[in-house]
Amino acid sequence: MMRNDLRAMVLASLFAALTAVGALIAIPIGPVPFVLQNFFVMLMGLLLGPRWGLAGVGVYLLAGALGLPVFAGGTSGIARFAGPTGGYLVGYLPCVAVIGWISSRGKGVRMIDALALIGGTLALYACGVSWLKLVTGMAWG
């Protein structure tokens, strides 16, 4: 394994852990809490790119699905993917992929990074809000 791959693997693991810690900082407002884990997922896309960003998010989601208390409020389990927050959890995958892909095209250009974050946020909310509406029957408004 190359040195850069080892470094990226360690960083992806570190960001998966930081995402889990960020999930513990939650403000419960309605069926979907406001959490700090979104910040770490987006930062993962900016710093690691699409490949290792997806690896880090995949490790985080797998840890939660296997029962480690890494989701918002210290919850876990595969059932979280079927609940109101499931769309946001799954939405982390396209979010980090979009951010990583766009930001890797304009390395270090702040405007490109800002556009990447906007695109990632749109991808995250497209998955999350549509799943929330489907599960809870809430109106689009």
Of residues 1 and 108, more confidence is placed in 108
Span 24-42, pLDDT tens digits? 988 888 788 888 999 999 9
Distance CA(5)–CA(52), nearest Å, equals 9
Torsion angle of the four alpha carbons 135, 28, 60, 106, in this order, in degrees rounded to the nearest 10: 90
Q: Phi/psi class of residue 135: alpha, beta or left (left: φ > 0; alpha: ψ in -120 to 50)?
A: alpha
Span 26-85, pLDDT tens digits? 888 878 888 899 999 999 999 999 999 999 999 999 999 999 999 988 889 999 999 999
Distance CA(15)–CA(77), nearest Å, equals 20
Span 93-135, pLDDT tens digits? 999 999 999 999 988 789 999 999 999 999 999 999 999 999 9
Place of tokens 């702040």: 110
pLDDT of residue 74: 86
pLDDT of residue 12: 95
Q: pTM for this structure? A: 0.91
pLDDT of residue 2: 61
